[in-house]
Structures are given as structure tokens and as C-alpha cells.
Amino acid sequence: MPATDGPWIRAGGALVAAARMPGVAWAWSALGHRRRARRFAAAELAVDLAGAHCVVTGASSGLGLATARALAGRGATVWLLCRDAARGEAARAEVAACGGDARLVVVDVGELGQIRRAAAAIDAPRVDALVHNAGALPHARAVTGDGHEVDFAVHLAGPHLLTKLLLPRLRAARGRVVFVSSGGMYSERLRVDDLQWRARPYDGVAAYAQVKRAQVVLTELWAAREPTIAFHAMHPGWADTPGVAAALPGFYRATRRFLRTPAEGADTIVWLAAAQPPPGPSGRFWHDRALAPTHLLPGTADDPADRAGLWTALERATADR
């Protein structure tokens, strides 16, 4: 994605506009996290993950790498799912230096055939945590090799299929699944009439916000179907990651000194994946280790038909061919 301003100045403005409610922008900044972190219970993450297997997508940088480092540092075997082999190997070496065991699986999570091969390559007998962190924010509509729009494939279809394929091992561990959503989802409602932007002009910011909204709904749907597995969604606030810098350069320059570090952004991911006692309840949305509302703006409430339609669309997209 080109690191030029162009329409992404508008994108940064849209993200700021979505947060124009009293205290929200401050809450999503580094200052908000650091204020809340004073109340975090350190004992909840003083855990020994030896013998645990954790899968993290998008683990070569940013939040994914910070999550993998934190889990490995507690003794887990961490499976790093990365799209680029060279960057993935560099991340694997960095994570291995933290402790535990780091293993690389090269996969583009938007390509369903690659997801199937990756699930087979993860030869763990159990999966204690599955973190869906991989993301994309394309500036123009693009499709994967399967013919799916990239936002839909990377944030929804790929994670849905990977969850299904790892389900027996998640059940065996009574594991946890974490969807890394975004506060940008507050600006959009769930709509399934054109999930892949075939019938309307593509808007990269709206497309991203809509799939992030859909991830929160998908978390709720999975939780209702799999009571032995804990499903969580969260948003990390505004974090200083390579993805933000590349996709939203204008926004990044304007807010850089207020952005969270990757470790601060990943803190709640790690907490949801590993804390003892386990956070609860399943199927909820979290921010800074606390339950967060799923709707802040009028007109964004979910229609039951759209919720059912999301599951149907994902089952159809990920069916064996």
C-alpha cells in the first residue's frame, strides 16, 4: 500500500470523527492506557504457559509480534502465522529469544487454500489460544485468489475458516479465541447485503470499519455455538504499528506522540488469551481489560437478520470446494 496521503487524509479524519465523543480519543491514546494500567492486577498475567500452544496471525510486526513475544515469554509454544517468509523468520527468532518455543507458518490468511494448509502444518495436539490479528486496509477494492474482496477475506472468511479447522484442538484445551477488532467499528453498522462491495463504490475506510464491526458480531455468534471455548473481541486503541503508519500516514503524523506502543496495544490481547482466572464472559467486547460497549453511535444497532446472514455468508464462503 503506498505511503502517500491522498484519500488517507480523509481516512484519518474519519477515524478521528468516529471517536468524537467525550473522553473517547483520550481513552484510546497511550495516556488512557497508562492511566488504566495502574489498576491492572499483575497477578492475572503471572502465569506459566509451559505446555500451552498459542496461534497468532499477523505475527511479524506490531500487535501480533508484541502478543507473540508476551506469550512466549510466559513459556508457551507460539505458532507465528505470517505472510512474508523473511519477515516471519526474523519475528520467529525474536520471539524465540523471549523463551518458550516459536514456530513459523507462512500463510496469507486471506487465501483459504493457504489457511487449510496452515492448519494442517500446526501439528499441536491442542490449541490453548488463537489470536486473529492479521489485518489489511486496502485503498482500492481488490480480490484474493478465491475471488473474495480482501477486507472480507482477511478479517472474516480466513479467521472463520481457521477457527473451524482448529476447533477440535480448541475444544480439547477449553481454549480461547481473540478477535482483534478496532474502535473504528463504532462508526458502522453490520450490513450483509453487500459484504464484498460488489454493488457500490468501494470506500476503504468504511469497508475496514464494517469488517471490524462484523468481527465483533462473529465473536458473539461463535460464543453461542461453542460454550466450551471462550470467544473474545477487543480493540487495542490507537497503537503505533507499521500498519497504521503505512495505511494512514496523515493520521499517523498527527497523532504519533499520543499513540500506544505495540506492547500497550497488545496488553488486552495477551490478558484475554492467557490470564488466570480466565476473563469472562465469553462473546463480549473488551478494551483495556474491561468490558466495552459494542455500540456508541445511533443507527449502528445490529439487525437480527443481518447477524444470521453473516454466519450464512461465511459458511458459504469457507465451504469445501
Query: Residues 46, 229, 239, CA angle at the centre, nearest 5°?
Result: 55
Q: Rounded distance, CA 128 to CA 53, Å?
A: 5
Partnered with residue 101 across adjacent β-strands are: 77
Q: Rounded distance, CA 292 to CA 288, Å?
A: 9
Query: Residues 14, 264, 275, CA angle at the centre, nearest 5°?
Result: 120
SS3 185: helix
H or E segment at 305?
A: helix 304-317
H or E segment at 130?
A: strand 129-132
Partnered with residue 149 across adjacent β-strands are: 143
Q: Rounded distance, CA 262 to CA 72, Å?
A: 16
Active-site residues: which are they?
Answer: 208
